[in-house]
């Protein structure tokens, strides 16, 4: 049978043991977690070294895996054999596994992973009949926030809404990275029960620094001092100036997009939404948009192009180029 990961997670403890579990899909976080859940159920820690094999399909032939699977467990009820990346096998090798599945060892739990699987293959058909296929698809962005909250709760903490938003902005939608960030955040907080915006901006520097967003926000609000000092912070955090600049441009692009839509008769809310603003930021954003005329934004883009050139090809230190931009936007020159 084939089953979605979240469903599998919920129902697994009640399901009958299956001789083989195949995790397929792109979300590696679910795969790792799924393997852990299955392993914990079948593998007895005391006899782990005797009854546990893990290998990669690229390093091993299928017949060898079958041998491992047919070995009897030692001082335990089950053996666990894991083969990762089985899409690397040829269909001939997969046939060997399929043959095993027709008469599987009742004392072995075979766990397979594959990023992609052709469901029409003979092997897949056998697998569907004999084992459990778990589909590990990434979560949609809107479900991600709920998932983060749940992960944070698991270690007995809670997370503020704005912190949550920033975290998703910073970490993107790679769940493994987000999970690492959550771990870091909750460790950083120590005994404190609540994860705040400040914590995220200090710790979650996985790929982007939070100060980058502060620069972009401050410049569109024309808060000169804040923009200059957060720029300094971002540079200190090791942010490449070009990336800081990208986020400034992104902010103005969203504004121009919303402004254009509003001029065409859209409501501020609808325009903000279309520009990609999350619901709880819409109000703040539409107030911001009011402060710039469309003409002003257009002119600004000409300046941004010039700044881009100076950043990439100039001799002036990049942070000074950006400071100059900040001064000109904030002082309206």
- Residues forming the site for another protein (CB under 8 A): 28, 32, 54, 56, 82, 84, 174, 176-177, 180, 183-184, 187-188, 190, 202-203, 205-207, 209, 224-225, 228-229, 232, 235-238, 290-293, 295-296, 299, 314-317, 320, 323-324, 327, 331-333
Running DSSP on this structure, what letter comes out for residue 77?
A: S
Choose between 16 and 193: whose C-beta lies nearer to another protein.
193
Please report how close the Cβ of residue 146 comes to another protein at its closest, in angstroms: 21
Q: Of the two residues 264 and 331, which places its CB atom closer to another protein in the complex? A: 331
What is the smallest separation between the CB atom of 224 and another protein, expressed in angstroms? 6
Cβ neighbours for 155, distance < 8 A, ≥ 6 positions apart: 186
* Residue found by looking up tokens 């944070």 in the block: 152
Three-state SS at 209: coil
The whole-angstrom separation of Cα 258 and Cα 268 is: 8
Shortest distance (Å) from residue 196 CB to another protein = 14
Q: What secondary structure does DSSP assign to 33-76, as a single string?
A: HHHHHHHHHH--GGGHHHHEEEEEGGGS-HHHHHHHHHSPPSSS
Q: What pairs with residue 177 in β-bridges?
A: none
* Residue 177 DSSP SS3: helix
Length of the chain: 333
Minimum distance from CB of 106 to another protein (Å)?
25
d(CA 305, CA 311) in angstroms, rounded, equals: 10
What is the residue whose two structure tokens read 């520009």?
Answer: 275
Give the residue with the Cβ less far from another protein, 101 or 218.
218
Report the nearest approach of another protein to the CB of residue 176 (Å).
Answer: 4
Radius of gyration of the chain, Cα coordinates, nearest whole angstrom: 26
CA-closest candidate to residue 173, choices 195, 147, 200, 135: 147
Closest to another protein by CB, 26 or 118? 26
User: Which residue, 12 or 188, has its beta carbon nearer to another protein?
Assistant: 188
CB of 47 to another protein, least distance (A): 16
Taking the least distance from each CB to another protein, the nearer of 107 and 177 is 177
């Amino acid at each position: 049978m084939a089953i979605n990961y979240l469903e599998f997670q919920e129902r697994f403890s009640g399901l009958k043991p299956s001789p083989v579990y195949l995790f397929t899909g792109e979300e590696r976080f679910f795969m790792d977690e799924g393997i852990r859940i299955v392993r914990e159920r079948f593998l007895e820690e005391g006899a782990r070294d005797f009854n546990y094999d893990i290998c990669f399909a690229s390093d091993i032939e299928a017949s060898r895996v079958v041998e491992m699977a047919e070995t009897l467990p030692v001082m335990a009820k089950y053996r666990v054999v894991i083969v990762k990346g089985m899409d690397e096998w040829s269909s001939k090798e997969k046939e060997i596994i399929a043959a095993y599945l027709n008469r599987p060892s009742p004392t072995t739990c075979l766990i397979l992973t594959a990023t992609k699987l052709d469901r029409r293959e003979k092997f897949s058909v056998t697998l569907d009949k004999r084992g459990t296929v778990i589909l590990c698809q990434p979560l949609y962005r809107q479900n991600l926030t709920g998932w983060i909250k749940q992960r944070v709760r698991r270690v007995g903490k809670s997370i503020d809404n704005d912190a949550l938003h920033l975290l998703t902005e910073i970490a993107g939608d790679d769940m493994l990275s987000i999970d690492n960030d959550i771990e870091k955040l909750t460790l950083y907080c120590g005994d404190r029960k609540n994860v705040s915006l400040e914590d995220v901006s200090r710790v979650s520097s996985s790929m982007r620094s939070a100060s980058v967003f502060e620069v972009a926000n401050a410049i569109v609000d024309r808060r000169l001092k804040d923009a200059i000092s957060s720029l300094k912070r971002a540079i200190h955090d090791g942010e490449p100036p070009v990336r800081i600049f990208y986020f400034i441009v992104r902010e103005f692009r969203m504004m121009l997009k919303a402004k254009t839509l509003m001029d065409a008769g859209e409501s501020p809310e609808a325009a903000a939404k279309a520009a990609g603003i999350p619901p709880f930021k819409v109000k703040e954003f539409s107030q911001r948009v009011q402060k710039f005329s469309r003409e002003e934004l257009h002119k600004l883009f000409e300046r941004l192009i010039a700044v881009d050139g100076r950043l990439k090809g100039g001799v002036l230190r990049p942070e000074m180029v950006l400071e100059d931009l900040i001064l000109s936007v904030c002082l309206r020159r």
